Amino acid sequence: MGITTTQANNITANNAKISFDGTSSTKLGTIEENADVTDTANVTAAGALMDSEVDADIKTLSYLRVQLSVHLLRRFLTMPMQQQ
């Protein structure tokens, strides 16, 4: 089907007008306020981690590292000294 001659002329003359219905206008009007909204479902669906999840993992790993260090230090300190 294609476009009409009037439509082609309007495009060429840069007279084309775009109108939005109420739904489109509302959707465009909320772009900025919704731009910084990131929810866990979208992040998870993308295969990523939220900062809060990363922070929790880092705290867990740090805790485990400290516990391992304490364990190894205790073992070292309780080892019998070898006489030379």
Taking only the tens place, the pLDDT of each residue in 40-75 is: 777 788 787 777 777 777 778 788 888 888 888 888
Q: Is residue 37 part of a domain?
A: yes
**Host domain of residue 42:** 18-77
Number of domains in the chain: 1
Share of the chain above pLDDT 70, in %: 77
Q: Is residue 83 part of a domain?
A: no
Place of tokens 């060429």: 12
What is the rounded CA–CA span in Å between residue 49 and residue 46? 9
Strongest mean pLDDT among 22-31, 63-72, 75-84: 63-72
Q: Is residue 8 part of a domain?
A: no
Q: Is residue 61 part of a domain?
A: yes
What is the rounded CA–CA span in Å between residue 62 and residue 5? 70
Give the burial string for 39-54 (b: 16+ CB within 10 Å, else e): eeeeeeeeeeeeeeee
Q: Is residue 12 part of a domain?
A: no
CA distances to 14, 20, 23, 30, 51 from 17, rounded to whole Å, are 9, 10, 18, 22, 44
Q: Is residue 43 part of a domain?
A: yes
